[in-house]
Structure 1
């Protein structure tokens, strides 16, 4: 009898040159591509591993998808853009071979003691919400658990859910709340979609997250809704919270077109 424990679900395997995507990273629209959530989480992993000045705090992360990200070895490259006394900006390029397939910008501000302005947090605690299957096929082989508060993925309307991820983005590296938050930031266009999935697709073209502070704890909340003018694109507006309150707000630019993910 084989007593070897099952490996923890993970999206990427670290190699000498970069990161090899696993089957769990598969894009729902394209079989040989990587989904936006794993890419966002991989950027977050690269940000954490970069060794930025600890006297600065992350206040914004933006991600642009420059086309289909292939399920092929991926290599991040960090480029300094601004090195100021109050703010620092870095660009992270994600390369598949010689081609840049996605990019992220991370803005850091010097840490100071300043007044607090807490946004409202009118959401139930995760322990007050029963667990249920909310993500429909995006559960990372069961590693992502959900406690839905409102709505349903692939159904029109605002969606609110607590999420917990017990898997790894990179094999052998425990995922921090920041990495998990960047993963969940990709889910807003599905959690808070404004169209029926069998009639319209709603792929996100980018991800933007404005952090008030870094997230804490195992359970993270996503509150999402989408608005648009009927001209082929829309905006998913996302609010992120943990048990201590709201830690970030964000947006995604959504490309709306006839059809649905396979």
Structure 2
């Protein structure tokens, strides 16, 4: 495990074999594990580096957390699943000590000109909202800044906030808007939690994001809420926007149980 000493905060260090997590990647639920946000962001980095066929656009990313992701060397493997003319599907597997701990499926569709059906984005622009402390324990050593509109992390109810990330997911590699969007895709269960953190935990089991288009700019809006039937699991639902409007919608399957993050 590597300790981060670089002046730019980062979650991972790239090695010849894979990616070594830093202390900033720590999972709030398990002491020696990697949190879902850094895992999701790492998949975003690997998707960008995969070199998929030109002319195709990412329209869906799904991530399955297959257990506790340890803070140990993480080794990726890319597996082509479908190579069609109109759609392609790839799987990226992440291994720790030769055991698969997470996987992502990336669905791509051929880019063509079609009518646009833009979803509404009724919230104020980022520059019209003052900065404030919205996150608790997930600010990436101050690299993640927030402009909250509604709610607060670890308090029940809908949450809406603009977020900006000025750190790096992989040391030495500037994080693109897409990689940052993958990081924030994990935040829905915290931004829009339905329970008090001191009473119930709400760890996510997966992440699914449907992209209308690729995100742009520096500030990203999250509008999130969680719904469930009181049977041990729930669904966190998120709308993601940038300065130009909504770029994606997403869900997370949430495991609800007694306890609180450490």
TM-score, with length taken from structure 2: 0.98
Alignment of 1:85 onto 2:85: yes
Q: Deviations over 1:186-234 (max 9, x none)?
A: 0100000000000000000000000000000000011000000000000
Q: Equivalent residue of 1:116, what SS?
A: coil
Q: Compute the displacement of 1:37 (Å).
A: 0.2
- 2:141 is aligned to 141
For 1:240 and 1:178, how far apart are their aligned partners in 2?
Answer: 12
Residues 94-105 of structure 1 aligned to structure 2 (within 5 Å): 94-105=94-105
Q: Compute the displacement of 1:7 (Å).
A: 1.7
Residues 174-193 of structure 1 aligned to structure 2 (within 5 Å): 174-193=174-193
RMSD: 0.8
- 1:256 is aligned to 256
Aligned length: 258
Residues 79-228 of structure 1 aligned to structure 2 (within 5 Å): 79-228=79-228
Q: Compute the displacement of 1:84 (Å).
A: 0.0
Residues 58-73 of structure 1 aligned to structure 2 (within 5 Å): 58-73=58-73
Q: Equivalent residue of 1:131, what SS?
A: coil
Q: Compute the displacement of 1:6 (Å).
A: 5.6
Which ranges of structure 2 fall in alignment gaps of 5 or more residues?
none
Q: Deviations over 1:38-97 (max 9, x none)?
A: 000000000000000120000000000000000000011100000000000000000012
Q: Equivalent residue of 1:190, what SS?
A: helix
Q: Compute the displacement of 1:169 (Å).
A: 0.0
Alignment of 1:42 onto 2:53: no
Q: Equivalent residue of 2:119, what SS?
A: coil
For 1:86 and 1:97, how far apart are their aligned partners in 2?
Answer: 37
For 1:193 and 1:232, how far apart are their aligned partners in 2?
Answer: 14
For 2:17 and 2:93, how far apart are their aligned partners in 1?
Answer: 14
For 1:6 and 1:93, how far apart are their aligned partners in 2?
Answer: 28
TM-score, with length taken from structure 1: 0.98
